[in-house]
Structure formats: structure tokens, C-alpha cells
Amino acid sequence: MTARAAAVLAAGVLLAQSPQQLSPSVHAFVKVEAPILVLTHARVIDGTGAAPLEDQTLVIRNGSIAAIGQTGTQAHPEGSAVLDLTGKTVIPGLVMMHEHTYYPTGPGVYGQLGESFVRLYLAGGVTTMRTAGNANGVMDIELKRQIDAGRQPGPAIDATAPYLNGEQGMLQMHVLKDADDARRQVDYWADMGATSFKAYMNITRDELRASIEEAHRRGLKITGHLCSVTYAEAADLGIDNLEHGFLASTDFVADKKPDACPGQTAGQRSIASLDPQSERVHALIDKLVDKHVALTSTLTVFETFTPGRPKPPGLEVLLPELRESFETAFQRSQQNTQSVYAALFPMGMALERAFVKAGGLLIAGTDPTGIGGVIPGFSDQRQIELLVEEGFTPVEAIRIATLNGARYLGRDTRIGSIAVGKQADLVVINGDPSKTITDVRKVEIVFKQGVGFDSPKLIASVTGKVGLW
């Protein structure tokens, strides 16, 4: 490396040609960039669940990982830039599967915060995400296109179409008329550029069946946050994924009527009182595993409702009014001595563990809805911490948040783990999350296709403004 290049890298920025052409506004957030970049003395957690590898060197060439090996055994290619990562850990970019570009800004109303949210997701280490539900229409699709074109900083987006839902009271959701309407909606949004679909709480079995068939005909997947349809029914219909672990299941509601949502509280109480070792629980888990239905863990949103839990991270980025609104709601949840979440939250953890033990594919997300407080990026890191609290080892939790999501998307040959030939989507952490999982919060640089983005700078660009745009 030339003396000039070394000086520029030491200053924190190295600019050169990258595989993706970035606009000047995106380039403002780039910290490290070079056609050939060598990361030395790094601890590598590769995303497969394997033990960390110490003192590794990674060679990144034109956005992909060209070589990995013990530092000192890897030759530095001519003209490469070198970044010393002594004391730091490299993990794969997070692949998070229940994210949104909206946030609760009023009673039953969601503000569309796409531009600030995609910066926060990227800053938190998320390099690929699915927007598991869309309350706007085209924003997620357009954000995906702009990010792909290098005109916005942010993760690669699996853009989910607007919700497929039946009768309900939300102004930002279409009400399906029947199964034919469900098919039309899937076709319309697939043509518009949506790459994923989500069924919601009041869909009927016929509408869900039609949605699944049409999505699969288009080569696309469909998930669901269900209530009117049980998990077992959805699995039999061919759904690909179910959201919120088992905490949205109505399979155990005693007087559940076909195609009717018994209400969120009834479903939650039926789950909170379960015996995780019971035959009926195992029967449902076995069905989901046999039908290859993935479950998305979203512990972060449920934690905000649960008494005795800590205040979530990242609140400082919110508008003061939104932060105050959340903190008021959070205090109410903490003082609710009759809250079903006191039993529901640990039960949800136990059921997810049982699902994985039975061979199920658990993926991860955060869901920035509810009473607020689930802040993109910050909450994705918190989700990994909660998976460790749930009983997974740190490297297992990281696998759930990386390679498992990539497997679900069918992109695991390119992303989700650190291996030669894969895309250089990497997160540089100042610490060792394999020993102290809270170190996942110490993100310094997020590489997306080999371009290193400055995490603190991305966060600073929206701090105190989240809620505006």
C-alpha cells in the first residue's frame, strides 16, 4: 500500500472504486473503501454457529471475500489497503426478518420513516432485511430500488407488499373482499416489485390459501401474523413462515371458531398457560417442522410490554415528543401487576427453544410497532441479546440473526456467513460478543458489499429527528 493510502486509511477514510456506484450523499457515510482491502488480526465469528477463530486475516476484493486465514499466513495482494482490527470481532452482516419502515406516531397511526430507519438498520449491523408488512404501499419497494442503485444508504431489502387482511379497523390496510381479491392483490404487488407477502390477523382460510398459491406461483414467499387462522391450519395451507414465534398462535384457544380471531388477549392467555412439554404443544411443533414452516422470533417488541424488563436502547434518536410518549406507555406497562406478559414472555422463549430443538428454522426480527421503543438497529442488537437470554449460546444467537435468515431467503450461498466467495457483508465490533453478548452494541463499521459504512456517523445523522422522515 502506498504511503498516501496508508495515511488516508489512518485518518478513517479510504476512497477508491467499489463494486457499487454510490451517490455523493451515500458516500458521505463511507469510512473504508478500496478495490482490495485486507482486514488483519480480527476475531471471526463466521455465522455458522462454530467457535470464533482468533487472529484472522480477511481479504476483500471487489465486494467479495477472496481469502480468510491466520494472520501472517495470508499474503497481502499488491495495491491492497490494510485495516488492523486487533481486539475487534468480525461477524456476518445481520439478516433480519421482521423489520418495518414505519413507527407508531399516534393512536392507530403509523408514520412512514423510511429514510431515517434504513440508516439506523445499517448502522446497527443489518445488511439485509425483510420489511414484514407494509403500511404505505410503494415506499418499501422504492427504498429497495434506491438502495440497490446506491442512492440511499441502507440494507438490501426484501420488500413485503401491503398486508393481506380481512375486516379490521386500520386506515392503512386494504380489506380483502374474497379469495379472488387476495389473488389480485398478490399479482398486483408482485408486478409492482414486492418480493414478499404477509397475511394478517383477520384473513380467512380461503383468502390465505389463495394468497399462498398465488405467491408460490410467482416464486415468492409468504409469512403471517395470524389470529383468525391457526398455525396448524396455515401450515397445512403451505405458509412459509409465521411471525412472533408462538405468541400470535390461537391454536390453543378453547372456543376458537373457524376464520374468526378470538382476540389478542384470548390467544395470549392460552399460550401463557401452556405446558411446553405437553403433547399438544409437541404436536404443533412437529407439524411446523414437518411442513418446513419457519418461525420469526421478535422478542424485542414483547419485552416493551413485560413488567420488570429494562428500558430499550436507542430512544435518544427519537423526536422528544415520541420519546416522551413511549416512556409514558412503558411506565404503564411496568406498573401493570396483572399483565399477561409476565408469564407470556418467558413462555415464548421456552417455546422457541423447543421448536429449534425439534429441528425448526428460527429466524430473527424486531417489529418496531406496539407502544414504540423498538428502535431499528439498536433493537436488532437487543434481539440477539434476548436470544442468548432465551438459552442459545452467543454464536448460536448470531447464527439465528445471520445465516438462518439467509437460508430462509434462499440467499445463503451469497450472504449470512463469512466464507471465501461470499459477499463481504460484515460487521466490525469493538469487543468479543462470543464472551460478552452485549458487545454486539459496539458496532464501529458495517461493510456492505465490501464498502465500510461509519456506524456512529449514520446514527448521528438522524439523532433527535426520528419521527420526521
Mind spelling out the 3-state secondary structure of 64-123? EEEEEEECCCCCCCCCCEEEECCCCEEEECEEEEEECCEEEEECCEEEECHHHHHHHHHH
CB 118 within 8 A of CB 154: yes
> What confidence tens digit (pLDDT) does each residue in 365-377 have?
999 999 999 999 9
Which pLDDT score is estimated for 16?
A: 38
Q: Could you say which architecture CATH assigns to the domain 3-92+415-460?
A: Roll (2.30)
Cell of 142: 422504492
Distance of CA 169 to the CA centre of its chain: 27
Same CATH topology for 3-92+415-460 and 94-409: the answer is no
**Domain edges within the chain:** 3-92+415-460, 94-409
Residues 6+ apart with CB under 8 A from 397: 384, 385, 387, 388, 437
CB 302 within 8 A of CB 348: yes
Which pLDDT score is estimated for 450?
A: 98
Cα–Cα dist 435/443, whole Å: 16
Look at residues 173, 167, 168, 199 and name the one whose alpha carbon lies nearest to residue 186.
199
Grid cell 422463549 is found at: 349
Which pLDDT score is estimated for 75?
A: 84
Distance of CA 38 to the CA centre of its chain: 28
Cα–Cα dist 57/86, whole Å: 11
Which pLDDT score is estimated for 6?
A: 37
Cell of 377: 438497529
pTM of model > 0.85: yes
Cα–Cα dist 259/240, whole Å: 19
CATH of domain 94-409: 3.20.20.140
Which pLDDT score is estimated for 47?
A: 98
Mean pLDDT, the chain cut into blocks of 10 residues (469 residues total)? 35 43 96 96 98 98 96 90 98 98 90 97 98 93 97 98 91 94 98 98 98 98 98 98 98 97 95 95 98 98 97 98 96 94 98 98 98 98 98 98 98 98 98 98 98 98 97
Cα–Cα dist 391/301, whole Å: 19
CB 465 within 8 A of CB 33: no
Which pLDDT score is estimated for 396?
A: 98
Which pLDDT score is estimated for 106?
A: 86
Cα–Cα dist 20/410, whole Å: 22
| Residue 72: CB atoms within 10 Å | 9
For 272, the enclosing helix (H) or strand (E) is helix 264-272
3-state secondary structure of 357: helix
Which pLDDT score is estimated for 423?
A: 98
